[in-house]
């Protein structure tokens, strides 16, 4: 499959999604778009998956964006009113879900960036909460150099995630930055040797998945909601989200586990 989802036994609450087209720079053709959309739906519906990891296959590219030989020509055909196959039509309708543009996964997502992240690959990265990259990774938004508007996540999410001046440099110059620069401006969490990329990503995911599921979910939700609110509304909203958690079974279990000096056993209730 051009994109696959796995749930390793040694990481019972973590899903690993891999874009597996290294020979095509992990670009997004119609089958890959459909598989990615299905993977996100699977993760969103499964309460046992408490964190997800996205990576690319191979040694060179995380994801280069849309496949210029298939997806782009097919989308142009559709725009002209020409007929496309049913699979292609479904894939083109799934683009926003596949790229998590305007779609909240509802589950924390970590990107293990194994190489270059461009265009749609950059958009997918922006939909994640945490990111770890290899030293050889690079990052670019090249739409303006092609006469296009970056209609994915870039103009909506990037200025909310890194400082204004750095966001505009990426958006308006179309010039790539390397992993060191991405770390400096806060675009990624850390740089690790290639051989430790997934190991570190799973360590991060296990740390998330090891916490109370309801508390993680509501905290993630709160960050997304409060970021655009006034301070007064933000404080009010965080209390609305936090108050019910104090009465959950998991909160009581955390207290018992602390007294009994053991790890809590979460039920998500």
Q: What angle do CA 18, 45, 58 make, to 5 degrees?
A: 0
- pLDDT of the residue at 257: 82
Please give the mean pLDDT across all residues of the chain: 93
Reported as a single tens digit per residue, the pLDDT across 136-152 is: 999 999 999 999 999 89
Select from 67, 182, 49 the least CA-distant residue to 113: 182
pLDDT tens column, 176-232: 999 999 999 999 999 999 999 999 999 999 999 999 999 999 999 999 999 989 999
Who contacts 134 (Cβ-Cβ below 8 Å, separation ≥6)?
Answer: 113, 114, 115, 179, 191, 192, 193, 194, 197
Q: pLDDT value at position 35? A: 96
Tell me: pLDDT of 132 over 90.
yes
Question: What does the alpha-carbon distance between residue 141 and residue 155 come to, in Å, rounded to a whole number?
Answer: 10
The CATH code that applies to domain 3-209 is: 3.90.226.10
Is the model's pLDDT at 126 over the cut of 80? yes
Q: What is the tens place of the pLDDT at every residue in 58-97?
A: 999 999 999 988 888 888 887 888 787 888 788 888 999 9
pLDDT of amino acid 211: 93
pLDDT score at 72:
80
């Amino acid at each position: 499959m051009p994109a696959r989802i796995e749930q390793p036994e040694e990481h019972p609450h973590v899903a690993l999604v891999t874009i597996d087209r290294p020979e095509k720079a992990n670009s997004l053709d119609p089958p890959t778009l459909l598989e990615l959309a299905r993977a996100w739906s699977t993760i969103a519906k499964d309460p046992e998956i408490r964190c997800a990891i996205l990576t690319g296959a191979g040694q060179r590219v995380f994801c280069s964006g849309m496949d210029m030989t298939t997806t782009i020509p097919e989308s142009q055909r559709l725009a002209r009113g020409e007929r496309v196959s049913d699979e292609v039509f479904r894939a083109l309708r799934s683009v926003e879900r596949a790229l998590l543009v305007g779609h909240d996964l509802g589950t924390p997502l970590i990107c293990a960036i194994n190489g270059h992240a461009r265009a749609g690959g950059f958009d997918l990265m922006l939909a994640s909460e945490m990111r770890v990259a290899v030293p050889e990774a690079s990052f670019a938004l090249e739409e303006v150099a092609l006469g296009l508007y970056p209609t994915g996540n870039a103009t909506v999410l990037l200025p909310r995630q890194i400082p204004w001046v750095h966001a505009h440099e990426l958006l308006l110059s179309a010039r790539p930055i390397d992993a060191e620069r991405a770390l400096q401006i806060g675009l990624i969490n850390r740089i690790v040797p290639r051989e430790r990329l997934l190991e570190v990503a799973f360590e991060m995911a296990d740390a998330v998945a090891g916490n109370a599921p309801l508390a993680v979910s509501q905290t993630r939700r709160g960050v997304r909601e409060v970021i655009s609110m006034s301070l007064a509304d933000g404080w009010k909203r965080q209390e609305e989200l936090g108050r019910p958690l104090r009465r959950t079974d998991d909160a009581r279990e955390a207290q018992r586990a602390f007294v009994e000096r053991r790890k809590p056993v979460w039920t998500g209730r």
